[in-house]
Amino acid sequence: MAAMAAMDTGPEASEMQLAIYRRMSPERRLRVGLELTELSRKLLREGIRRRHPEYGEPEVLQAFRRLWLGAELFHSAYPADRELEP
């Protein structure tokens, strides 16, 4: 399986990072993946808050869901929710 190249990392650093991941146990790689996912979710919510300080937490969550799930899945899962600007 080919690894996706990071846009902000040079080839040598990328190879070093991959070598580190390969030495990790499967459990540790899973833990790191889950931590990175949570970080990306947190950053996405923060971006919404900064762009829309008028949004309360319910609106932030709704805009987050739309971005995270994509428009089609969002509308299928939350048909009654209005589409907020993320």
Global pTM?
0.75
| 83, part of any domain | no
Distance CA 30, CA 36 (A): 10
Predicted confidence at residue 56, as pLDDT, reads 96
Residue type (1 letter), 13: A
| 66, part of any domain | yes
As for how many domains the chain has, the answer is: 1
Under the banding of pLDDT at 50, 70 and 90, the label for residue 4 is: low
**Is the confidence at residue 1, as pLDDT, over 50?**
no
**Domain enclosing residue 32, as ranges:** 11-77
Under the banding of pLDDT at 50, 70 and 90, the label for residue 86 is: confident
For the stretch 43-58, pLDDT in tens is: 999 999 999 999 999 9
Distance CA 36, CA 18 (A): 15
Predicted confidence at residue 7, as pLDDT, reads 75
